[in-house]
Structure 1
Amino acid sequence: MASAATAPENLVSSAASPAPEPENAPAERREPQNEYERLEFAVEKNPRVAEHWMELLAYVKDEQDLDAVRRVYDRFFEYFPNAGAQWIAYAEMELAHSNFTQVDAIFVRCLRTTLSLDLWRFYLQYTRRVNPLPPYTGEDNSPREQTRRVLEGAYEFALKYIGWDRESGVIWQDYINLIREREAKGTWQEGQKMDQLRRVFRRAVVIPLNQVEAIWRDYDAYENALNKLTAKKFLAESSPGYMQARSVLRELKGQTENLVRPELPVLPCWILPTPFSRPPGKERQMFAAWRRYLEWEEKNPLMLEDTAAFHTRVLSAYRKASMYMRFDAVLWYNAASFCQSAHREADALAWYKSGMEACPWSLLLRFGYAELCRAQGRYADGTAALDELVVYLQHELDVRLGALRAMQEHVDKETAEERVRIQERRQQLDSMPEDEGDTAVELADKERRLHEECASRKTKLAEDSKVEIDEWKDAMAQTWIKYMHFVRRADGIKPTRQIFGRARKTPHCAWQVYEANALIEYHCSKEPVVAAKVFELALRTFGPEEHLVVRYLDFLISINDDTNARAVFERTVSSIPAERARIIWNRWSDYEYCYGDTSAIARLESRLHDLYPDEPKVEAAADKLRYDMLDAVRARDLGFSRAANAMLRKERTETPAVDEPREETQKPKAAAPAAGRQSMEEIRKSLLAAEPKKESEKRAASKEPPAAKKAKTSEAPTRRSRLEPTPPPQPSLPDALLYFLSLLPSAQSFDGPRIPPDHILECMMNTSLPLIQLPGYADRKGPARRSTRKGR
């Protein structure tokens, strides 16, 4: 009997798992007391780290508690809804307990959104298992025929979602064999079977499948077996699509064979560094490879004329990529952008929502979604998404600040315990004789060092956490700023002021939010007075922060309010240390040098000299003459021109100087064989020049530029006469040795390790070898020759 739950018409679509509600500030909780609590704490702390979930699942499975396993699986799929291997494991667990209803429910939840070939094959195997074919009876609409329709419907349902995948060729072949095995009674049923089989063949051969050539050969044989006259017509109609698919398959393999496909997606290391994270370079390479493939799919390499089929293929590729790159916000953004370009706004909203669930930290997705909602008149949905982003970022920032405080409190606790021990020891010393005074001094010194070490450890913890905390603070500030810009475009200036009021009340609001609001007031409301008041409020809130002061000065100078600009400068620069105030002095000196009078410039230079007495005068002169990016003094007089910098970079990449030996960078071509043998006299002349040189020196000289050769030639005698005596003439070599040297290959062709000849010769001369007299070579000036070599 066919199972209704497995029939494709009863598989209703399931929406993506809802995003969890924004978390509040982390509450105090006790430390885990056992392994289960430790694992629960790990998944609660970082629910997007898959390894913690795998450990928790393994633990609850060992406990043999089916309901507990189900609860963990359900929570796991909220964060990893496309984990094909885990859906299969979940279904297999239910199947092992013969819970067919639960298995059907699992397929309803996962099939449409998880384009895992293994999962779909498991679904087809399950469908065959629960729908075995009854015996053939020959009756119309028999149970066997009804079961076949269910199985064929399941294959059609599967191919609708994964038939585009190049690795789905096996499923296409199974479907073709299933149709072939169908019993046909009468001409009408035989014709139906033939037409259905032809349609499936023609659909498969135009898809770049790994088995497309085998399917084409099968189709060719099938048509020719039916009718050779009609086979030529049908094959000719499908041949162009098949040739295009076979050609695209080669490109597709090049695009996809090296893609990284982890079993479960991993958070990028720049979001949450974990022991399971990949290095940043490899992470970016993985994302870039997937993006190149998806861009290739968007170019329609199959040249599909059916727009709906083209869109379905591209979006299916994006869905499959999301299985492996779930935490890449760019993937979701590109998919939504493709839907918008195809005028599929509803699909774009769905992609944005799914992306925000996967990457709740992404400003790219949140603001893209908000802009699309605004364009569709759903302004409230857009602002709700931005409010969720604010809550999420605030929570993440609080978590990191709380972790830093906890570590610092732990250091304080350890220090306090050690201080108590010191005080107890001191009380013991008070009851001892006076000769123990040295020990008391040591304890006092130990307590002092303990205090210094505590302060140093806390400072080190703060420094180590500063970069990450600052990044989250910057994201928070940017969110508030762009939130104000979004609301101002959509709803005007008054709601924008309300958003600014909310931002001011948050504990981690940055000065950039005040500056952004001040500039909105100036540019959009034409209210310079209101803008100045916002800047003043920022100064009162953050104190004399040097970057804020520079931005305030920029604003006042831009509206030509030099009086207030001078007052702000004088009021703030004196309360900031000189090393931090340098950028304020630079900004004000730029203004004075351009628009100040002579007396103001003189006073400025005097104050700068008093504050920075070690600064070279030429630097001050260069600053005085500089205008924006025009700085000819540093370029021409101080040698920091772009041309000089380019020459410096070039010198760093070039080889060493010409008078130093250089390594060979390329293997020279092998010398052509000589036309005939050289005579002994020719060999002697070629090897013994008037002014003998080593072969390495000859090669170095041949590679030198002409100018360097000329300089070397003119300087060589002078150098030699001043620094070293003239070397003795090189002794002549015997003819046999000269002939042997002529047969050796050029030294330039050697690319192995360099062997020091002095060490080799010393080893040979110090080695005792037995003398062997060969016939005809006895008494041939052996001792004299050895003495000559030794003299050399």
Structure 2
Amino acid sequence: MTDSKRRKLTSSGVLKTGGNTIDDLKTDLEKDKLDYSKWMELIEAVNKTTDSDKIVETYKSYLSIFKNDGDVWKKYIGFELSRGNHSEVESLFGQNLTQIYNVELWRLYIEYVRTVNDIVTGGEQAMNVVTKAFNFAIDNVGIDFLSAQPLWNDYLKFLNEWSPLTTNEIRTKTERQRNLLKRMISTPLLHLEDNWKTYLDFENDVNQSTARKYINERSPEYMKLRPFNTELIHLTSSIKYNPDKINSKRQVQLWKNWINWEKLNKMNLPSDILDKRINYVYRKSTEYLRFQPEVWYNYSVYLASKNNTDMASSIIQTGLLVNPESFSLRFNHSNQLEKIGDVELVKETWMELIDSLTAKYESETITEEHKLIIGRCVSRAYSCLMGAYKRMVGTTKARAIFSMARKFKGVTWHVFVDYAMMEYNSNDLKIALRSFELALKYFGKEFGFVDTYLDFLISQKDLANSKKAFEISLINFKDQKEYLIKIFKKFMKIEMAFGDVNSIKLLEKRFCEVLPDETPFVLASSAFEDNDNFSAVKMIDEYGIYNKHTEPDLNDNYSSSSAAGNSNQSENYDIEEETLANIRSENKGPFVVRDEVYNLLRVLPKAEYYADKPAIFDPKKAVEFFQNIEL
């Protein structure tokens, strides 16, 4: 379809693009201001109009949200350049150039500098200004492994096209070319090998008699850098720009791998250069994966670790613009605000998230499954706000947050537990117990809550309330056998710890009454189960670890059913062996290569040394030798 067919005017003269009018696109963006594709359609559409104010307004609206989109900043500044608004261009460059690591934006900056500083008419002064601009750009984004090569090429082309008039200028040009090429071959870039060839050609063209000297000086450094550059090529080969709201764990992991590689400092860089490279990769990850909160969070934590708290805060706030419902970014931002003691901003931060999620919870289009998830998230947000209030202004005002949370229709039991523990840690056990009891009325049929409540009562040695919760739970879970068994097992541990023989017998009797299909042995075995699920009863009584060769009873008719029983017994042996293996592994120390073996491996020659010689060293036989050796 041709562009003329795509672009149509309605009867009212409103431009249409791809079937959508500008007004349609704006309406869509009011519903979802983070729809990147719709924004791109809108920017394209308004640029086809003659309304400059509308074009500027659209760019500003987009960039107020997507602040780190260097490509769109380039388009916006390019638009201002096209209408000769140089004062606005310089203002925009000043605001954003060093904040956005986008090579194409920097190339536009160089183009602008060259436009206003013509070296033909401006002479040496213009030449120096443009050279400084190039160096400024190289210092800032020249280390961009994925994108910087065109910028380096622009700089080299600029020097190559310079036509010096005097001997001194010729010498200056040669030195500048050589210095630039030296920087190019000492900087990891996708096309490092091409840069090396360019350097070789340059030295040979300048003076063949001195070429070997200069090349020999640079060759060791290049050869040292080359394998690291190859590693970077492999690390970054699958990285892709992801402008849409698509979660990609693989892409996040690729960036983490790259960052971790930089932190290893294999190139043995000075600390300032190392920090610059790490910071750059972190920043690029937020541009490539702006809808992945993890990259923003990790970058902010890194900046904070370098005591760059202002930038850390700025990064989190920028990340929140494109990830307004991110829990991790809200948490990080709240912690930063808590440090400066601004309780109102802390509340505002969490309430923005709560209000946004609550609106989705109350939407008629949402499924019940998503309602449960959102309800849990809102409850957690209230708990975080309540905890922040407790730390900043005390328990009394934190109680008001709990009251707010209770009014939320989708509130979960977790808020009640968090509130109860807050009161308990403030030495008010009575209020804590009242909160648990209140939650039991609303969430008594949720096993997660009952389990948590019983654990708390056990920690307090509160047998009276434990028995009360136990009786209520038997009623609430009367049709859920799985949970009934778990509750009995939990209470069996309570009786084992705090009861007596009679209470244990009564519990066993009650177990058989409530669960007639089960045997008391099931309950007894759980009483001896440790936190790591090891049970002495299961290991000895049920699995029979000392009876590995049990013979069938001669008085029984050995039938297919008994054979099936032996099959089950075999399965038990497998379980037993697995359990024993786990126990052994816990007591076994880590494998360590002995010094004798390590020293021998160090002096063994590499196989490639004998590629063109008689086969006096066979690596396969060497491996077999070490496999069979006993030390």
- TM > 0.5: yes
Matched with 2:514 is: 611
Shift of 1:311: 1.4
Residue 292 (structure 1) shift: 0.8
What are the equivalent positions in structure 2 for 1:539-688 lying under 5 Å apart?
539-540=440-441, 545-571=446-472, 573-574=474-475, 577-579=478-480, 582=484, 583-592=486-495, 595-615=498-518, 619-620=522-523, 622-623=525-526, 626=529, 629-634=533-538, 637=542, 641=572, 643-644=574-575
Counterpart code for 1:349:
S
Instruction: Tell me the residue number matched to 1:150.
Output: 129
- Counterpart residue identity of residue 574, structure 1: I
Match of 2:236 in 1: 256
Post-superposition offset of 1:91: 4.1
Partner of 1:202: 182
Matched residue, 2:33: 47
Q: Which residue of 2 aligns with 1:325?
A: 289
Partner of 1:472: 374
Is 1:174 paired with 2:154? yes
C-alpha distance 244-339 of structure 1, shift in aligned 2 (>3 A): farther
- Give a deviation string over 1:286-317, Cα, whole Å, max 9, x none: 21112111211222233212x22221222112
| Structure 2 counterpart of 1:516 | 418
Match of 2:439 in 1: 538
Q: 1:632/1:317 Cα in 2 relative to 1: closer, same or farther (>3 Å)?
A: same
Distance 1:134 1:630 in 2: 85
In the other structure, the counterpart of 2:257 is 292
C-alpha separation between the residues in 2 aligned to 1:125 and 1:642? Answer: 76
Q: Deviations over 1:355-401 (max 9, x none)?
A: 33333333333333444555xx5232xx5564344223323322322
Deviation (angstroms), 1:164? 0.7
**How many angstroms does 1:155 deviate by?**
1.7
In 1, distance between residues paired with 2:210 and 2:275?
33
Cα RMSD of the aligned pairs, angstroms, is: 3.7
C-alpha separation in 1, matches of 2:68 and 2:177: 33
Give, in whole Å, the separation in 1 of the partners of 2:200 and 2:526: 81
Unpaired segments of 5 or more residues in structure 1? 1-33, 136-142, 269-282, 408-460, 649-792
Q: For 1:648-698, what per-residue CA distance to the aligned partner results, in whole angstroms no more than 9, with x for missing partners?
A: 9xxxxxxxxxxxxxxxxxxxxxxxxxxxxxxxxxxxxxxxxxxxxxxxxxx
Residue aligned with 1:118, SS: helix
Deviation of residue 186 (structure 1)? 5.4
Query: Is the Cα contact below 8 Å between 1:327 and 1:359 reproduced in 2?
Result: yes
Aligned counterparts, 1:391-410, within 5 A: 391-404=351-364, 407=365
Aligned to 2:313: 349
Q: 1:213 to 1:293 in 2, by over 3 A?
A: same
Q: Secondary structure at the match of 2:239?
A: coil
Distance 1:147 1:361, change over 3 A: same
Equivalent in the alignment of 2:55? 69
1-structure distance, mates of 2:440, 2:54:
56
Residue 202 of structure 1 and its aligned partner are, at CA, apart by 3.0
Of residues 204, 221, 246, the one that matches 1:241 is: 221
* 65-74 vs 597-606, which moves further: 597-606
Q: Which amino acid aligns with 1:368?
A: N
Contact 2:492 / 2:523 at 8 angstroms: preserved in 1? no
Equivalent position amino acid for 1:251 in 2:
E
Mapped to 2, the partners of 1:544 and 1:182 lie a distance apart of 82
Number of residues paired by the alignment? 529
Partner of 2:480, secondary structure, is helix
Answer whether contact 2:67 2:318 (CA < 8 A) is retained.
no
Distance 1:289 1:211, change over 3 A: closer
Which of 319, 322, 341 is matched with 1:379 structurally? 341
AA aligned to 1:346 is: D
CA distance in 2, matches of 1:186, 1:122: 31
Q: CA contact under 8 A between 1:265 and 1:324: conserved in structure 2?
A: no
CA distance in 1, matches of 2:578, 2:459: 39
Q: Please report how far the alpha carbon of residue 150 of structure 1 lies from its aligned counterpart in structure 2 after TM superposition.
A: 3.3
2:262 and 2:274 in contact (8 A); partners too: no
Structure 2: how far apart are the matches of 1:211 and 1:551?
Answer: 59
- Cα separation, partners in 2 of 1:389 and 1:634, compared to 1, 3 Å: farther
Measure the CA separation in 2 of the matches of 1:42 and 1:398.
Answer: 21
Rounded Cα–Cα distance in structure 2 between residues aligned with 1:347 and 1:476: 29
What aligned pairs does 1:94-493 form with structure 2 within 5 A after superposition?
A: 94-129=80-115, 131-135=117-121, 143-166=122-145, 167-182=147-162, 184=164, 192-193=172-173, 195-219=175-199, 238-262=218-242, 264-268=243-247, 283-305=248-270, 307-372=271-336, 377-380=339-342, 383=343, 386-404=346-364, 407=365, 465-486=367-388, 488=390, 493=395
Amino acid at match of 1:643: D
Q: Deviations over 1:477-530 (max 9, x none)?
A: 3333344445555666555545545544555443212212322333x3333233
Cα 1:384–1:619 shift into 2, 3 Å: same
SS of match in other structure, 2:375: helix
Say which structure, 1 or 2, has more relative contact order (CA 8 Å, 6+ apart).
Answer: 1
TM-score using structure 2 length: 0.72
In the TM superposition, what whole-angstrom CA distance separates every residue of 1:695-717 from its partner, at most 9, and x where no partner exists?
A: xxxxxxxxxxxxxxxxxxxxxxx
Task: State the alpha-carbon separation in 1 of the partners of residues 304 and 406 from structure 2.
Answer: 35
Tell me by how many angstroms 1:64 deviates. Answer: 4.8
Partner Cα distance (2:120, 2:521) in 1: 99
Question: Cα gap change, 1:552/1:209 in structure 2, threshold over 3 Å: closer, same or farther?
Answer: closer
Match of 1:684 in 2: none
1:379 alignment partner, SS class: coil
Q: Tell whether the 8 Å contact from 1:361 to 1:389 is kept in structure 2 after alignment.
A: no
One-letter amino acid of the structure 2 residue matched with residue 637 of structure 1: E
Q: How far apart, in 2, do the equivalents of 1:130 and 1:201 lie?
A: 26
What is the match of residue 753 of structure 1? Answer: none
Paired with 1:576 and 1:131, the residues of 2 have a C-alpha distance of 82
- Quickly say closer, same or farther: Cα 1:61–1:611, change in 2 above 3 A: farther
Code of the residue aligned with 2:466 in structure 1: it is A
User: Matched residues in 1 for 2:525 and 2:329: separation?
Assistant: 46
Q: Is this contact kept in 2: 1:170–1:211, CA < 8 A? A: no
TM-superposition CA deviations, 1:224-283 (whole Å, max 9, x none): 777789877765654443333323221111111221223x24342xxxxxxxxxxxxxx2
Cα distance in 2 for residues equivalent to 1:247 and 1:575: 66
| Alpha-carbon displacement from aligned partner over 1:589-631 (angstroms, at most 9, x marks no partner) | 4423554344434443444444333445654454466565333
1:574 aligned counterpart, secondary structure: helix
1:553: how far off? Answer: 2.5
Shift, 1:102, TM fit: 4.8
Tell me, in whole angstroms, the C-alpha distance in 1 between the residues paired with 2:341 and 2:505: 57
Q: Structure 1 vs Structure 2: percent identity of aligned residues?
A: 27
Give the whole-Å Cα distance in 2 for the aligned partners of 1:234 and 1:627.
Answer: 72
CA shift, 1:326, in A, is 0.8
How far apart are residue 115 of structure 1 and its match?
2.6
Query: Shift in Å at residue 124 of structure 1?
Result: 3.2
Whether the aligned pair in 1 keeps the contact of 2:354 and 2:382 (CA below 8 Å) is: no
Hey, what's the Cα distance between the residues in 2 that align with 1:186 and 1:559?
A: 92
Counterpart Cα distance in 1 of 2:26 and 2:519: 62
2:67 match: secondary structure: coil
Distance 1:362 1:73, change over 3 A: same
- Separation in 1, partners of 2:489, 2:83: 76
Separation in 2, partners of 1:239, 1:384: 60
Q: In the alignment, residue 476 of structure 1 is paired with which amino acid?
A: V
Cα distance in 2 for residues equivalent to 1:610 and 1:171: 81
